[in-house]
Amino acid sequence: MNNIEILYYFRDAVACLGILVGLGGAVFLFFRKKTLPGILALIGFIFLGTEPLLDLILWRFLDNTASPNWDTMNATYACVTGPALFLGILMIVLAFILGFRELKLPPPPFEPPANLPPAA
């Protein structure tokens, strides 16, 4: 194993660690009773997790086969990770927007004071 492969493994390990931290944050949103932002963050981080996972599967495991088809592997990697990264980032941004949004509650109903004299 040469130095460049160590850097690729390190990059994938840091990406997976970031995904796990994000999934933990999504679970934390569930505990804070913010279910929609939690679901969006969970789905977003799962989408972001497809890139390092597919990188490990395609370029580390299937690369060692007898005759890899480079064109198919490269097209599969690009066609899966491109939309997955875009959708993952979109879901996480929506989760942040919905998570930090203050709910606008309707004003309380009007109740006249109880100690007013009767009207004349």
Model confidence pLDDT, tens digit, residues 14-41: 888 888 888 888 888 778 777 888 888 8
Question: Does residue 14 fall inside a structural domain?
Answer: yes
Q: How far apart are CA 29 and CA 13, in angstroms?
A: 25
- pLDDT score, position 1: 60
Question: Does residue 119 fall inside a structural domain?
Answer: no
Question: Does residue 116 fall inside a structural domain?
Answer: no
How many domains does the chain divide into? 1
Question: Does residue 118 fall inside a structural domain?
Answer: no
Structural domain containing residue 32? 3-100
- pLDDT score, position 60: 72
Residue 106 C-beta-side C-alpha neighbours within 13 Å: 3
Tell me the pLDDT tens digit for each residue of 78-117: 888 888 888 888 888 888 888 777 777 788 887 877 777 7
CA nearest to 95, candidates 28, 18, 50: 28
Question: Does residue 87 fall inside a structural domain?
Answer: yes
- pLDDT score, position 69: 75
Question: Does residue 37 fall inside a structural domain?
Answer: yes
Q: Which of 10-14, 37-41, 52-56, 67-71 has the lowest mean pLDDT?
A: 67-71
Question: Does residue 64 fall inside a structural domain?
Answer: yes
Residue 120 has pLDDT above 70, yes or no: no
Q: What is the pTM of this model?
A: 0.69
Tell me the pLDDT tens digit for each residue of 60-69: 777 676 567 7
Q: Which of 32-36, 45-49, 57-61 has the lowest mean pLDDT?
A: 57-61
